[in-house]
Amino acid sequence: MKYTIDDFARLIDHTNLHADATEEDMKKLCDEAKEYHFKMVAINQCQSKFCSEQLKGTDIDTGAAIAFPLGQQTIESKKFDTEDAIKNGANEIDYVINITKLKDKDYDYIKKEMETLVEVCHKHNIPCKVIFENCYLTKDEIKKLAEIAKEVKPDFIKTSTGFGTGGATVEDVKLMKEVVGDDVKVKAAGGIRSSDTFLALIRAGADRIGCSAGIPIINALKQRMKDDNVDSIEINR
């Protein structure tokens, strides 16, 4: 498949999830998203209203992070926060699983949590992304989570918060995609800072990339296309 610069930009969730991000930082994030035509801004839940107002009239989504970055809230708490974010203008949701419950092999809890949040999102016709935080998981745990997702069918499963001990890897994206196939999409996030890594993750099966380095990545791809005198890049998956 051939990707133009705009195709690449529309894969990017432009991210600022820092605890000390100001309103000025959020405005800058939204302005950059509009300039580069990114798919979404990824922000903390409390900034949903401000960012959705900044992006009003555009096709750029406001993506609220729920139970971020630890995932250690109850299902009811996550449900409330999801509904609150949506009420305040969020039209995509990324939530962190309860890693403790996964480690305890309480798969029924993990499935119930996923079903609850997917139901809330789909009731409002918005995408739900499930953050695994792979740096804390074994390959078997990643596979088990992906199997649950294949059954529940969130819109995306996601590699990382970017706040753990590691981020997205090609190996993990391949494993996740291998399990879910075409039933669920994969989002890669965490530590993605170069155009080479960006392209490698897309080749591995990622349909969305969460990063704060979207601007330098897109600029590097523009330069690459200019140097090669092409208007698109072929990606074989």
Give me the catalytic one of 158, 172, 177, 185: 158
d(CA 6, CA 60): 13
d(CA 202, CA 209): 8
Query: Can 94 be counted among the known catalytic residues?
Result: yes
d(CA 233, CA 106): 43
Query: Can 158 be counted among the known catalytic residues?
Result: yes
CB atoms within 10 A of CB 166: 15
Rg (CA), the chain: 17
- Which class for 174: exposed (0-12), middle (13-18), buried (19 or more C-beta within 10 A)? middle
**Torsion sign across C-alpha atoms 209, 184, 172, 102:** positive
Give me the catalytic one of 13, 61, 94, 155: 94
Query: Can 228 be counted among the known catalytic residues?
Result: no
List residues with catalytic annotation. 94, 158, 187
